[in-house]
Amino acid sequence: MQYDNKIKQCSSIDMWSDHDWQFWLLRKEPEVRHTNRQLQLKFLGRQEGVVGKSLLANVLLGREAFQHECSANSVTHETEFEDILIGNTNYAIFNIPGLIEADQARVDANKQEIYKAFQLRSNSIVVFIFNGGAGGRINSEDVIAFEAINKAYGFKRESLLFFVNDLPSKRPESYEGQTTIKLESLLQFKDIKICFLDRTDLQNEKAKQLLWSQMASKIIECTPREHIKKADIAMDLDKLKELKDEIKAQQTKFSEQLDLYKTQIEAKQKEFEQYKNQKPVEIHHYHERVVEQGGLCTLS
């Protein structure tokens, strides 16, 4: 099966041509074969039933590969991965159980699944998903989950991407700038790559296409890197309330000191608006730019 090897980065689905739509429809059931040139994406979060890692992974794949549903409990209990083929490059998307659950035994089991995912293929791009469904507010447990996994693996900025998912379409004008700076402060990460995703009606094919385009255009900005475990993931539910109180206090302090961050927030918001309003850009077959360098798979 032959595919047009391009995607478009754009803020409006109305700008897609008939040819682009044909590509979108064709890619939904790709012919898959294994190759030794592969780009891996690892989807991480705190809890599957809340965050929707499986749902976003399915949108990228263009098919219902991973189970997902609206639930207070997780629906992913084992590490899963699916391959798709674009051009002649095999692209693996890993769907990994969320770290935080209601009982310690489940948390400990999820730790093992996270270890397994990085042992299977350590060279990857890491996508960590924050839930923005509660009016766009950052959930303390998301921050705690990221910090716990990051301390174990020491993620590198160039291979790390954040999705803030399930956002209300109407939000404050400075939301993206403020949230970016807040996350950089909470996570102690500078110049993070971040993508803000609106709540989407997945029965609407055009809306789903826009969601896919937004995610893909950010993913290609990342460079895969090796992620080797340096320590065990520390997550003790007995200490969760204490950790949540600490993060809540940090968020309160940030809100009280907004004036100190005003210049940074305005700069980030301007950057976001420029990105959102730019003209469509064709991104030609970014998987073909993956090259082997010293055992690392990097984007040239």
Predicted pLDDT at 20: 52
Residue-wise pLDDT tens digits, 232-259: 999 999 999 999 999 999 999 999 999 9
Beta bridge partners of 283: 7
The one-character DSSP state at 169 is S
The domain limits of the chain are: 36-279
DSSP 136: T
Contact (CB, 8 A) for 128 and 161: yes
**Whether pLDDT at 202 is above 70:** yes
Q: Grade residue 87 by pLDDT with cuts at 50, 70 and 90.
A: very low
Q: Label residue 36 by pLDDT band (50, 70, 90).
A: very low
Which residue has better confidence, 221 or 267?
267
Is 40 a residue whose pLDDT tops 90? no
The position carrying tokens 């997902």 is: 68
Q: Do residues 126 and 227 make contact, with C-beta atoms less than 8 angstroms apart?
A: yes
Region class of 255: left (phi > 0), else alpha (psi between -120 and 50), else beta: alpha
Q: Which two tokens stand for residue 16?
A: 């897609």
Please state, in angstroms and rounded to a whole number, the distance separating the CA atoms of residues 133 and 51. 9
Task: Output 231 or 298, whichever has higher pLDDT.
Answer: 231
The average pLDDT across 83-99 equals: 72
Whether the Cβ atoms of residue 120 and residue 111 lie closer than 8 Å to each other: no
Backbone Cα Rg of the chain: 19
CB 112 within 8 A of CB 232: no
With bands split at pLDDT 50, 70 and 90, how would you rate the model's confidence at 79?
confident
Report whether pLDDT(86) > 70. Answer: no
What's the rounded mean pLDDT across residues 186-214?
92
Angle between helices 140-153 and 240-256 (to 10 degrees): 110
CA-based end-to-end distance of the chain: 27
255-275 per-position pLDDT tens digit: 999 999 999 999 999 999 998
Residue 4 pLDDT: 36
> What is the spatial distance between Cα 182 and Cα 142, in angstroms, rounded to a whole number?
13
**Domain 36-279: CATH architecture, name and number where available:** 3-Layer(aba) Sandwich (3.40)
pLDDT score of 81:
85
What integer best gives the mean pLDDT of the chain? 79
Closest CA to 129 of 67, 192, 70, 44: 44
Least confident interval from 44-53, 68-77, 114-123, 280-289: 280-289
Q: What is the mean pLDDT of residues 76-86?
A: 72
Q: Label residue 127 by pLDDT band (50, 70, 90).
A: very high
Q: What DSSP string describes 57-79? A: HHHHHTS--S-----SS-S--S-
Mean pLDDT of 188-210: 92
* Cα gap 54→60, rounded to integer Å: 10
What 3-state DSSP class applies to 106? helix
**pLDDT higher than threshold 90 for residue 63:** no
Q: How confident is the model at residue 216 (pLDDT cuts 50, 70, 90)?
A: confident
